[in-house]
Amino acid sequence: MFRTSIVKRLLLAVALSFSLHAAMAQPAPAVRQDAPVSGFNPDSVEVHQDELLANQRLITGRITLPDARARTLIQPDGRMWRDYQRSVVPWIAAVLVLGTIAVLALFYAIKGRIMIEGGRGLATIIRFSSFERFMHWLTAGSWCVLALSGLNMVAGRFVLLPLLGNETFSALSRLLKPAHNYVAFPFMLGIVLMLLVWLRANIPNQVDLNWFKAGGGFLHGDHPPAGKFNGGQKMVFWIVVLGGAAMAATGLTLMFPFVVTNIFGMQIIQVIHGLIALLMIAMMLSHIYIGSVGMEGAIDAMGSGEVDLTWAKHHHSLWVADELAKAEKSPPSPAE
Amino acid sequence: MARMKFLCDADRCIECNACVTACKNANEVPWGINRRRVVTINDGKPGERSVSMACMHCNDAPCAAVCPVECFYTTADHVVLHSKDLCIGCGYCFYACPFGAPQYPKTTNFGSRGKMDKCTYCSGGPDGADGSAAEYAKYGSNRMAEGKLPLCAEMCSTKSLMAGDGEIIAQIYRERVLKRGYGSGSWGWQTAYQEAINV
């Protein structure tokens, strides 16, 4: 019994090996004209970098290093990112930053400083509490560091490098680069605080629509009614909050590179980060203009926190009415 | 002057990683930094090829073009080098590099990278102190100053990885492909030099 089973198995094995042999003896696939000397043609399953690159954006493979980034062998998109970085972004930056400054200068030349109609009165009204001013300047101060250090990465080599020379410019950039990373955190804190404190006052409503229809009072000179924040200010608020959130999201991704995405994703995120930043810089330049040299009395709101009552009545009529009504209901307790 | 290039004949590479080891040893590069690496494509499948890759010392190098502080420069042999004194560790060169060549010594808090390090084609540093201990510590060996080619290519056991004047190594590759009848291409050349070796 035992013996027969072994014989059977042996026979089966021999039969199998014969059939395998037969299969292998099939006529070989057509040999190329330039048949290799060795007779073995590893090219039968050809791999060629041109075909790989034609089908995918980057060539990746297996690697024995623990660094996942090293798996990417070739990523020609790097050259695209290079072209964008070198030829496109400096122009966008120049147009947005210098263009905005030029438009504001032109506006100033034509309209001049917008003065308080009827001049400053004696009475003032508290517009922003000390905490509101603190969070504004926390955001504004860190924004200045972020914007300048960011612009330095884009345009420093064209503007500052020829002035300062390689060593000095490099030393400056070496300070600004980590500053950009660290100051991002107070900036993000400022954005969160402003969102929490000012959200209620910045919900858009019909008053804002009318404010925009009236051109914000810039066109005719008569002031459309507005609450604590007018339509334009609400726009600035939402640009800062939403833009700031986008800057924080892309910025944190850049700060911890390759944690969430690969090289292609990092390139895209860097581009988005730069474009939103430049748009926000252009926007904030206008905000700085109208809050300082552009309008008499406006800076007081974020300076002492107390603004001229006449100014407030002109620009934020509904808010002043509310505040005055509140003050009548609960008169301040007399000093003891 | 010669136009120095690297060429990896992937049909000869046996993925022994000796080029990686030789580079690390010749230049004493710190942990975590690999100026050269071997990537295997189609691993375990038909058509598997291994390619040894490092800085290709590109024409119009993307790293140099995007560097915000202009720390890169090109030698007379067309080797792309950079100054570690000027580098601010921003990481832009890694985004631009088609070959993943730039390496950064520390990726600690907030992505602070430290000075970039990459293949110098065994040409040392830019400070002009050829062969000094300070140059070696900062940039690695300067074999070119001694009239030698990069160690990775010099000691490649299958002569897959070649270094030298671009025209000469291209000619060697062309002869090889004609003789054996196949070739998977001059890896990275189209991207680095805007020309491939057509056989």
For residue range A272-300, list pLDDT tens digits in order: 999 999 999 999 999 999 999 999 888 99
Report in angstroms the alpha-carbon separations of A314 from A132, A227, A282. 22, 11, 27
Residue type, B126: P
Is A178's Cβ below 8 Å from some Cβ in B? Answer: yes
The answer to whether the beta carbons of residues B151 and B122 sit under 8 Å apart is yes
Residues of chain A positioned with their CB less than 8 A from the CB of B184: 46-49
- pLDDT category, B184, cuts 50, 70, 90? confident
Say if the Cβ atoms of B191 and A65 lie within 8 Å.
no
Of the two residues B113 and A313, the one the predictor is more confident about is: A313
For residue range A56-87, list pLDDT tens digits in order: 888 999 998 888 889 999 999 999 999 999 99
Angstroms from A170 CA to nearest CA on chain B: 5
Angstroms from A135 CA to nearest CA on chain B: 24
SS3 at position A207: helix
| Residues of chain A above pLDDT 90, percent | 58
Q: Does the structure show a pLDDT above 80 at A1? A: no
Q: Where are the domains of chain B?
A: 4-193
- ipTM score: 0.90
- pLDDT category, A31, cuts 50, 70, 90? very low
The answer to whether the beta carbons of residues A257 and A181 sit under 8 Å apart is no
Is A67's Cβ below 8 Å from some Cβ in B? Answer: yes
Element (H, E) at B8: strand B4-8
Domain range B4-193, CATH architecture: 2-Layer Sandwich (3.30)
Say if the Cβ atoms of A46 and B182 lie within 8 Å.
yes
- Structure tokens given for A30: 């057509």
Is B165's Cβ below 8 Å from some Cβ in A? Answer: no
**Long-range contacts (CB closer than 8 Å, 24 or more residues apart) made by A81-90:** A81/A267, A81/A270, A81/A271, A81/B62, A81/B66, A81/B95, A81/B96, A82/B62, A82/B65, A82/B66, A82/B96, A84/A271, A85/B65, A85/B66, A85/B92, A85/B96, A86/B65, A86/B66, A89/A154, A89/A274, A90/A154, A90/A155, A90/A158
Is B190's Cβ below 8 Å from some Cβ in A? Answer: yes
Q: Does the structure show a pLDDT above 90 at A185? A: yes
Cα separation, A249 vs A255, whole angstroms: 10
Q: For B114, what's the count of Cα atoms within 13 Å in the CB-facing half-sphere?
A: 13
Cα separation, B69 vs A48, whole angstroms: 37
- Structure tokens given for B57: 């010392």
Instruction: Identify any residues that bridge with A98 across adjacent strands, giving them in sequence order.
Output: none
Q: What is the rounded average pLDDT of the residues A126-137? A: 95
The answer to whether the beta carbons of residues B181 and A34 sit under 8 Å apart is yes
Residue that the structure tokens 């570690």 belong to: B84
Residues of chain B positioned with their CB less than 8 A from the CB of A252: none
Residues of chain B positioned with their CB less than 8 A from the CB of A69: 94, 100
Residue ranges of E strands in B68-128: 72-74, 80-82
Cα separation, B99 vs B192, whole angstroms: 9
Q: State the DSSP string of A75-117.
A: -THHHHHHHIIIIIHHHHHIIIIIHHHHHHHHHHHHH--BPPT
Is B110's Cβ below 8 Å from some Cβ in A? Answer: yes
